């Protein structure tokens, strides 16, 4: 039994690593519960019906609500997704399904990776230079912060994320599915829409969901584009409110009543993300079941 000690060491090392892996998972979950638990605990005690329905009063002792900011975030995310999701998914399809064309796939994937690494504050500054400054010059007005500029900045963040996750998920679909479909006479478009995309639906939806969640919670890209507003407005051509901007203003400000609103705002933001997260997860699960059943 020459190898018995080595064998013992090998097994022991494996057990230790097992314990560390379990510990890692437990650590992340407990951090989550700690952070979310605290935010919810304080947030619930600050939340009120007025918070959801009223607009800011301008009175620091009785600051009103955040209806304007909730509407603003929903509109900004919808505008950004309208542009970002189709372009992102199509670009992801290109990266995954047209890999040999012109030998540009590698560089394009690299560019998409670089773009997902572009810090959100830089995107905000780009949005300022690209949308706010020229529009101001064109209309010869004061600095033209607008909801459109904010949505454009958010779409800029969304597109590369959706493209890369879509690509990664499409690549997980086995190659012989595609070959089988093509061999039965299906065209490339039919193969992509009826075989590849449905096979990766859950993953693609998760990617889109993560991207939407990310932009809904973004503050930095909006600081110099949408700017924020205390008014209830649904016109994206004006300086536009967002939940995150309003929370940031209140949390870093000096007034305790506004800080309470910031806590409540974060709770609302988290609740919105939770609902989106959960619903898309359920859709993905149902879709997976029907695919198996078909």
Instruction: Kindly identify the residues of this chain, within the stretch 146-205, that bind another protein according to CB under 8 A.
Output: 156, 159-160, 163-164, 168, 172, 184-190, 192, 203
| Contact flag: residue 271 with another protein (CB under 8 A) | no
**Toward another protein, which CB reaches closer, 184 or 237?**
184
| Contact flag: residue 21 with another protein (CB under 8 A) | yes
Angle at 277 between CA 108 and CA 280, to 5 degrees: 80
DSSP H helices, 201-242, are: 201-216, 220-223
Residue 61, token pair as written in the block: 């002792």
| Contact flag: residue 244 with another protein (CB under 8 A) | yes
CB of 252 to another protein, least distance (A): 7
| Contact flag: residue 283 with another protein (CB under 8 A) | no
- Residue 227 is classified by DSSP as B
Cβ-proximal residues to 31 (8 Å cutoff; 6+ apart), any chain:
none
Question: Quick one: CA torsion of 95, 96, 101, 104, rounded to 10 degrees?
Answer: 30
Residue 74 neighbours by CB distance under 10 Å: 14
| Contact flag: residue 275 with another protein (CB under 8 A) | no
| Contact flag: residue 52 with another protein (CB under 8 A) | no
Among 177, 252, 271, 289, binds another protein (CB under 8 A): 252
Contact set for another protein, span 76-135 (CB under 8 A)? 86-88, 90-91, 93-95, 97-98, 104, 107-108, 111-122, 125-126, 128-130
CB of 274 to another protein, least distance (A): 7
Give the range of 45-53, 56-64, 231-239, 267-275 binding another protein by CB under 8 A. 267-275
| Contact flag: residue 31 with another protein (CB under 8 A) | yes
**How many whole angstroms separate alpha carbon 253 and alpha carbon 236?**
26
**How many whole angstroms separate alpha carbon 267 and alpha carbon 42?**
9
**How many whole angstroms separate alpha carbon 217 and alpha carbon 234?**
19
């Amino acid at each position: 039994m020459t190898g018995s000690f080595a064998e013992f060491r090998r097994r022991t090392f494996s057990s230790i690593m097992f314990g560390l892996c379990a510990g890692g998972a437990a650590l992340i979950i407990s951090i989550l519960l700690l952070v979310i638990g605290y935010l919810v605990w304080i947030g619930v005690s600050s939340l009120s019906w007025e918070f959801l329905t009223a607009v800011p009063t301008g009175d620091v002792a009785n600051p009103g609500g955040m209806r304007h900011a909730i509407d603003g975030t929903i509109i900004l995310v919808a505008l950004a997704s309208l542009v970002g999701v189709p372009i992102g998914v199509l670009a992801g399809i290109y990266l995954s399904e047209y890999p040999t064309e012109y030998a540009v796939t590698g560089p394009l994937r690299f560019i998409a990776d670089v773009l997902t690494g572009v810090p959100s504050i830089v995107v905000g500054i780009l949005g300022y230079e690209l949308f706010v400054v020229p529009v101001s010059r064109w209309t010869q007005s004061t600095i033209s912060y607008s909801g459109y500029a904010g949505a454009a900045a958010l779409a800029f963040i969304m597109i590369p994320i959706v493209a890369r996750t879509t690509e990664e998920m499409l690549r997980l679909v086995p190659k012989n599915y595609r070959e089988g479909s093509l061999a039965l006479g299906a065209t490339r478009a039919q193969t992509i829409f009826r075989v590849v995309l449905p096979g990766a639906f859950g993953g693609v939806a998760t990617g889109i969901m993560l991207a939407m969640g990310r932009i809904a919670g973004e503050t930095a890209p909006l600081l110099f584009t949408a700017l924020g507003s205390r008014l209830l407005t649904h016109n994206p051509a004006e300086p536009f409110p967002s939940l995150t901007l309003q929370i940031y203003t209140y949390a870093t400000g000096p007034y305790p009543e506004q800080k309470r609103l910031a806590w409540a705002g974060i709770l609302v933001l988290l609740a919105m993300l939770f609902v989106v997260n959960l619903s898309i997860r359920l859709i993905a699960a149902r879709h997976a079941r029907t695919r198996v059943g078909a």
